[in-house]
């Protein structure tokens, strides 16, 4: 069972998406001998296995569906959750900005339901590694199940503990903090990142962002940026192209920074003065 299906034909064990009328969609794992039941009829998995992706199929009642490979965003939106998960719009921007790719070593603190963990594991490939820290056993157990569901658990090292005592890893390429108080752990983050490594944190309020900015400057992080990602969809009808009635607006502030090695020059003194001014 895996999200990473490379064949153009649907095979047993692949995760599939059935999209019906009005774009109603369902995620399922193709299993020999199984059946999928919906109010629009029943489809046998055996009738889906072996068909090319993109094929239109029909239930026993004649209702049409398209057999598709789900995108990463589709899977994350349908993820079983016990906590608020990150939106694909934020996840995609985070991955690109932090340069997460094949072979990278990435640390995550605050596994939650595992949405970001799945995205990180997907992007780092078979040669990379994700180290994910969580303090709540129930949350970690759910995250493990979600990673196993999409076939990416082997790329993740799950750790159940507080990060107050620091991370086991060093020289990480990137580190993502999904915690309400990331400003309390910036020294630990610095010790875990390689020089030039990326840090990202997601926070909902301005008050938290202000505290994080002060902590980042104190620990000599640079290239600090604060932003938010807004997404607006449009009705894809040529004769009445207009924004949809709903949009995914503010979900949180994204704070990016990079670990640098400060020099004992005048600029270093200027940074110290800025930190003091921010604390006053």
pLDDT band at 278 (very low <50, low <70, confident <90, very high): very low
Q: Which of 99-103, 174-178, 228-232 has the lowest mean pLDDT?
A: 228-232
Nearest CA among 172, 161, 159, 84 for reference residue 124: 172
**CA 97: distance to chain centroid?**
13
Asked if the model's pLDDT at residue 198 lies above 80, the reply is yes
Residues 6+ apart with CB under 8 A from 278: 213, 214, 217
Q: What are phi and psi of 112, to 5 degrees?
A: 60, -135
Is 271's pLDDT higher than 70?
A: no
Q: Give me the domains of the chain, ranges plus CATH numbers.
A: 15-70 (3.10.330.20), 74-279 (3.40.50.150)
DSSP designation for 101: -
Using alpha carbons only, give the angle 58, 64, 65 rounded to the nearest 5 degrees.
90
pLDDT one-digit tens code per residue, 42-100: 999 999 999 999 999 999 999 999 999 999 999 888 887 777 778 899 999 999 999 99
Please tell me what DSSP assigns to residue 2.
B
pLDDT for residue 84: 72
Read off the pLDDT band of 266 (50, 70, 90). very low
pLDDT for position 249? 82
Angle at 104 between CA 218 and CA 201, to 5 degrees: 35
Eight-state DSSP code of residue 46: H
């Amino acid at each position: 069972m895996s999200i990473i299906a490379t064949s153009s034909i649907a095979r047993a064990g692949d995760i599939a998406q059935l999209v019906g009328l009005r774009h109603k969609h369902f995620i399922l794992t193709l299993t020999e001998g199984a059946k999928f039941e919906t109010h629009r009829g029943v489809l046998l998995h055996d009738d889906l296995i072996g068909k090319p992706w993109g094929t239109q199929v029909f239930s026993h009642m004649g209702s049409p569906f398209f057999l598709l490979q789900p995108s990463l965003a589709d899977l994350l939106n349908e993820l079983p959750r016990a906590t608020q998960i990150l939106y694909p719009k934020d996840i995609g921007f985070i991955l690109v900005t932090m340069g997460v790719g094949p072979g990278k070593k990435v640390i995550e603190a605050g596994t939650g339901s595992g949405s970001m963990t799945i995205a990180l594991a997907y992007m780092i490939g078979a040669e990379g590694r994700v180290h994910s820290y969580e303090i709540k056993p129930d949350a970690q157990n759910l995250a493990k199940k979600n990673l196993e569901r999409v076939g990416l658990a082997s790329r993740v090292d799950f750790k159940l503990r507080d990060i107050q005592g620091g991370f086991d890893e060093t020289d990480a390429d990137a580190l993502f903090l999904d915690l309400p108080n990331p400003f309390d752990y910036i020294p630990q983050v610095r010790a875990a990142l390689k020089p030039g490594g990326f840090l990202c944190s997601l926070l909902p309020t301005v008050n938290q962002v202000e505290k994080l900015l002060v902590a980042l400057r104190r620990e000599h992080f640079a290239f600090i940026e604060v932003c938010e990602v807004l997404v607006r969809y449009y009705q894809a009808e040529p004769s009445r192209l207009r924004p949809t009635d709903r949009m995914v607006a503010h979900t949180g502030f994204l704070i990016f920074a990079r670990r640098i090695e400060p020099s004992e020059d005048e600029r270093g003194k200027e940074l110290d003065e800025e930190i003091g001014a921010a604390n006053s």
